Structure 1
Amino acid sequence: MADENELLEQFAARFAPGPQDGADADATPAHFDVDRFLAGLDAIFDRHAGATEAQPYLEQAMADAENAGDDAGLLTVLNEAMGFYRSQGLHQENEWTVQRTLELAARMGLEGTEAWATTLINCATAMRAAGKYDQSEDLYRQALDCAATVYRPDDRRIAALHNNLSVLYSETGRLPEARAELEQALATLTAGSPDPSTDLDVASTHTNLALILLQMAQAPGSGDAPATDGDNRKEAADLLAEADAHASEGVAIFEAGDPHAGHFASALAGMAQVRYAEGRFADAAAWYRRALAVIEECYGEDNDYHRITAANLREAEQACRNAGQPLPDDGAPADAAAAGTAATTSSAATVESTAPTASPAPAGRPGDPRTGLRIARDFWEQRVRPMLRERYPEQVGRIAAGLVGHGSECYGFDDALSQDHDFGPRCCLWLTDEDYDAFGERLQADYEALDRGDWPVTPRAQGAGRRDGVFRIGDFFESITDYREAPAADRPHEWLMLDEATLAAATNGEVFADPLGAFSAARQAFKDMPGDVRLSLISRRLGMMAQAGQYNLPRMLERGDGAAAMLSVTEFVNATASLVYLVNEPITVGYLPYYKWRFAALRRLSGRLATRLADVCGQLESMLRLASAACYGGAGFGEGGKGAGPAIESLEATVARIAQEVVDELRREGLTRSGETFLEWQRPYVEEHIGGADPVLRSL
């Protein structure tokens, strides 16, 4: 697509002030040379000196343009500065730059011009990166209104605008709106393309649409229709079928247009994600293999893109084995179905296959290959909901249902080994206090009477500590968190008393139906950790990472105290795992679960698109593998005669690498101005962004 700033550069060059007719050239203000400014900026980036030289260069250029009275030149500098500040995570600097840019462009009378549309786009993107979503959306909408009058209807810049809005909606969890914007972008690109069948922008938009539809399929009820007006299961299947169609179209266009383009790997990986969700694991593995081949061709193997895709391939191959599907040969076609492989649904699928199959019986027996969440949803759809419709026709529209809480199946991490306890056909029914008083005990008796096949009733399914059945909404959350509702934002000490594993248990699982929305609202409130609390926890995690990994680990290794060194590794790993979740924001990704599922959760998070610090999970696992050899001298750990030296060196290097990546991420997010890699010294910078006055939020 065209360079967004091209028009602004042309505008600046055309209207840059020079000597006036009949005036003394020596008496005019110094001339600001836009071309020279841009050439100098390019030279800085060409020699990879942007991190240290670009900011002072831009600030000097702003002063020079202003002193020369060159508004058009200043506007060009400000637009370049916004892009740079955004790339460096300098969001506070960008906010005043955005304001200054808008005021200047308005004063110049640019409103309603192409230059105004470009300026609005740059400002909106800067505000989106800063997390100022309301302001960003408003600016994007203004840009769209302007673009409608100054661009042709099929101009690709309009498609880019819709794509930007889609990203904003996706980041804020507004998936239907994200989908609508991508559909608008696709329509614009298709209408204006000389050949949509080979147009790589069209292909990438199909892939992006597929991934949004996949997200919607994995959260049935997120569409326009209320969850109670239709069957969530059918909605998910329809969305998944659409995702498959768009992903397939994206791949086909890349194959026809440029099968060696680097972005082709994203289309192939997107196709793999969709097939995995359908339970077609052999297909998914084959698509991931093709994606890896493109990544190796375009980028090599030593990059996060390759590592994450390779990890996804391994997961798909393992799912194949678990499901009894034949693994594809290395040279197998990407679409395993085309090679005669039957598409089957497995317990590891997030969303059931779209292929028409007979509904599985909800009540099976131990050894059932379905996941606990799948069994719970089938139990709800085929036993519980029909019972409600028959016996509670007037109340069914007030009963929320799902599976949330303690248990590996609530996280989606269960397997055959999980079926020894607390497993089988079960779900939760949540009522308001008023409704529970009216019919809760009767509903519990009817629930307990439902047929569960050969599954045993476990102790945890009965009594006051039961994990399924009928609950008051407040009682349910109190049983997990000791709070009937999430603490208020102005009570940070209460939030800080809730550990992340507890919050994970309160917000995991799936909600199958919630006609009133009361349960979902209460659950979401626990996910919506106040910003000050999140920053306080990030500061605390930085402190523990510094203390355990950067300070005490090398000291304990030097002292020869293997046990203390091992505990230092453990503390560093746990703090870092928590930090990854906090940086990615609980409102979006949830919370890190308790130790048993910590790495399963980290691997899943790291495999998602746009995850921050995605490669840290693999580095932490490497640390744990190295720890025994490093802490106990290497004997018996494959070190041969080399002793612990190589393992210690690698362990300490990994700590340093993770610390550098964390600092880079903090800078991108605008949480620090410092490049210092000893993480304790980053804490004051992070805590500068805490707005509340409660001393509990800050370190001593």
Structure 2
Amino acid sequence: MPAAEPAFLPGLDLSRILYEEAVRPLLDKAFPGLPYAAARIGPGSEVLGFDTARSADHDWGPRLDLFLAPSDAAAHGEAIRRLLADRLPKRVRGWSTHFAPAADPLDPAAHMTASDGPVDHRVAVHALGDWLVAEVGQDAAASEPGVRDWLAMPQQRLAGVTAGAVFHDGPGDLTTARTRLARYPDEVWRYALACQWQRISQEEAFVGRCAEVGDVLGSAVVAARLVRDLMRLSLLLERRYVPYTKWLGSAFALLDAAGELTPLLSGALAATDYPERERLLCAAYEAVAVRQNATGLVDPVDPSPRPYHSRPFLVLHAERFARPLADSLTDPELRGLPLTGTVDQWADSTDLLTGADAWTLRSASAAVRGGA
């Protein structure tokens, strides 16, 4: 009879126990004085605090990231890996420290399983700078990111690097990097907000136009895109990074704005007729616009919806919020950019996909080819 699965505990707690009770004592004895950082950051639902018992079925368990200087990683990385394979306990709080691929060749994820020999553990040793470059494209421990660096960093990667938990940071470099990446600098933040309002402006009239021609499904799909963009905008307004899509709703629910906006956005998604969908979307536009005004970044803009030119659709005309934010920019690099935004924003931007700006098309082409 198979053993019962141990009681679930949050992955960050499990990682802390792994470090404090097993990894740290082994490192202290075998590598006394070695400078390193120990953390659980990067990809993973537990890093964002959204893991549940369901998470235990793949790529979850007693996991840890060790960060060393490049020379130390090269000199000691393999020895640390072997030491932990031989000396780690087989289980931590009932959860196996040994990971193995699933029997299904179509399932590449690692699963916890029992082992009688050395454990194939998930304590990864990294050279900090190399890991940061791999995660966000920038060694933020060595230097402050520039404007173009910020625009190229996916928000879900930034969320993973700056969330989670650091259990020890002897050199302090990991803490430096996380502090530098914790939130957008003010100018980049203004630009990203302007671009997010511009995204809403691009499509807000399409909900009514689709409905007018009898495209009920199309109207609902556009409304869903606008709901997603309003959620992302709300995260930006509260200076939170937008996570992986699976956790967008969970992250949104933690916002100050969630109590007011959730009924409106949920209602817009559930609406089966255009007038109700329009009413709820317009109420949501106005509520987010009021919050934008409350930031004091620019002079207040009238948040009330209005007709879309001569057509019978009510919209916010969200470009009214994008323009003042863009005009407030003082950074010369940002002032010269079109309002297509960070990599998350322009990847499916209407302006990009319709070819409205040659510079953005060239940048997208370079990104797809892996160029600078």
Aligned length: 303
Does the CA-based 8 Å contact 1:544-1:571 persist in structure 2? no
Provide the secondary structure at the position in 2 that maps to 1:384: helix
User: Structure 2 CA distance, aligned partners of 1:597 and 1:411?
Assistant: 9
Equivalence for 1:375: 14
1:596–1:533 CA distance, 2 compared to 1 (3 A): same
1:592 corresponds to 2:234: no
1:618 is displaced (CA, Å) by 4.0
Show CA shifts across 1:567-587 (max 9, x none): 3123212211221121112xx
Show CA shifts across 1:162-217 (max 9, x none): xxxxxxxxxxxxxxxxxxxxxxxxxxxxxxxxxxxxxxxxxxxxxxxxxxxxxxxx
Show CA shifts across 1:258-312 (max 9, x none): xxxxxxxxxxxxxxxxxxxxxxxxxxxxxxxxxxxxxxxxxxxxxxxxxxxxxxx
Does the CA-based 8 Å contact 1:371-1:414 persist in structure 2? yes
1:477 corresponds to 2:139: no
1:502 corresponds to 2:129: no
Residue 685 of structure 1 aligns to which amino acid in structure 2?
P
Residue 556 of structure 1 aligns to which amino acid in structure 2?
C
Residue 237 of structure 2 aligns to which amino acid in structure 1?
V
1:532–1:393 CA distance, 2 compared to 1 (3 A): same
1:390–1:490 CA distance, 2 compared to 1 (3 A): closer
1:657 corresponds to 2:283: yes
1:523–1:560 CA distance, 2 compared to 1 (3 A): same
1:622–1:458 CA distance, 2 compared to 1 (3 A): farther
Q: How does 1:178-193 map to 2 (within 5 A)?
A: none
User: Structure 2 CA distance, aligned partners of 1:371 and 1:485?
Assistant: 28
Gaps of 5+ in 2: 102-108, 112-120, 304-315, 340-356, 358-372
User: Structure 1 CA distance, aligned partners of 2:37 and 2:69?
Assistant: 9
1:472–1:494 CA distance, 2 compared to 1 (3 A): same
1:458 is displaced (CA, Å) by 4.0
Does the CA-based 8 Å contact 1:373-1:409 persist in structure 2? yes
1:446–1:619 CA distance, 2 compared to 1 (3 A): farther
User: Structure 2 CA distance, aligned partners of 1:487 and 1:573?
Assistant: 38
Does the CA-based 8 Å contact 2:45-2:55 persist in structure 1? yes
Equivalence for 2:27: 388
Provide the secondary structure at the position in 1 that maps to 2:8: coil
1:490 is displaced (CA, Å) by 7.4
Provide the secondary structure at the position in 2 that maps to 1:678: coil
Larger Rg: 1
Equivalence for 1:681: 320
Which structure is higher in strand share?
Answer: 2
Provide the secondary structure at the position in 1 that maps to 2:38: strand
Does the CA-based 8 Å contact 1:366-1:419 persist in structure 2? no
Q: How does 1:61-80 map to 2 (within 5 A)?
A: none
Provide the secondary structure at the position in 2 that maps to 1:428: strand
1:551 is displaced (CA, Å) by 0.9
1:559 corresponds to 2:210: no
**TM-score, length-normalised on structure 2?**
0.74
Equivalence for 2:310: none
User: Structure 2 CA distance, aligned partners of 1:376 and 1:577?
Assistant: 31
Show CA shifts across 1:79-132 (max 9, x none): xxxxxxxxxxxxxxxxxxxxxxxxxxxxxxxxxxxxxxxxxxxxxxxxxxxxxx
1:451 corresponds to 2:105: no
Equivalence for 1:354: none
Show CA shifts across 1:380-437 (max 9, x none): 1111111122212222xx2211111111111111111111101111111111223223
Equivalence for 1:359: none
Show CA shifts across 1:367-391 (max 9, x none): 4311111111111111111112221
1:508–1:536 CA distance, 2 compared to 1 (3 A): same
Tell which has more relative contact order, 1 or 2 (C-alpha 8 A, sep 6+).
2
1:697 is displaced (CA, Å) by 4.0
1:603 is displaced (CA, Å) by 1.0
Does the CA-based 8 Å contact 1:461-1:467 persist in structure 2? no
Does the CA-based 8 Å contact 2:12-2:164 persist in structure 1? yes
Provide the secondary structure at the position in 1 that maps to 2:205: helix
1:601 corresponds to 2:251: yes
Show CA shifts across 1:413-472 (max 9, x none): 11111111011111111112232233222112223332242624045669xxx9741111
Equivalence for 2:266: 621
Residue 213 of structure 2 aligns to which amino acid in structure 1?
R
Provide the secondary structure at the position in 1 that maps to 2:50: coil
1:420 corresponds to 2:57: yes
Gaps of 5+ in 1: 1-363, 631-643
Residue 199 of structure 2 aligns to which amino acid in structure 1?
M
User: Structure 2 CA distance, aligned partners of 1:467 and 1:492?
Assistant: 35
User: Structure 2 CA distance, aligned partners of 1:382 and 1:565?
Assistant: 55
Does the CA-based 8 Å contact 2:230-2:288 persist in structure 1? no
Does the CA-based 8 Å contact 2:136-2:154 persist in structure 1? no
Residue 301 of structure 2 aligns to which amino acid in structure 1?
S
1:520–1:621 CA distance, 2 compared to 1 (3 A): farther
User: Structure 2 CA distance, aligned partners of 1:489 and 1:574?
Assistant: 31
Provide the secondary structure at the position in 2 that maps to 1:615: helix
Provide the secondary structure at the position in 1 that maps to 2:25: helix
Does the CA-based 8 Å contact 2:138-2:149 persist in structure 1? no
Does the CA-based 8 Å contact 1:413-1:597 persist in structure 2? yes
1:599 is displaced (CA, Å) by 0.6
Equivalence for 2:166: 511
Show CA shifts across 1:532-590 (max 9, x none): 21111111111122333x311111122222332233123212211221121112xxxx4
Provide the secondary structure at the position in 1 that maps to 2:301: coil
Equivalence for 1:583: 237
1:492 is displaced (CA, Å) by 2.2
Does the CA-based 8 Å contact 1:400-1:431 persist in structure 2? yes
Residue 253 of structure 2 aligns to which amino acid in structure 1?
R
User: Structure 1 CA distance, aligned partners of 2:241 and 2:261?
Assistant: 17
1:617–1:416 CA distance, 2 compared to 1 (3 A): same
Does the CA-based 8 Å contact 2:11-2:61 persist in structure 1? yes
User: Structure 2 CA distance, aligned partners of 1:487 and 1:553?
Assistant: 47
> RMSD value over aligned CA atoms?
2.7
Find 2:199's aligned residue among 524, 544, 552: 544
User: Structure 2 CA distance, aligned partners of 1:514 and 1:619?
Assistant: 44
Does the CA-based 8 Å contact 1:372-1:423 persist in structure 2? yes
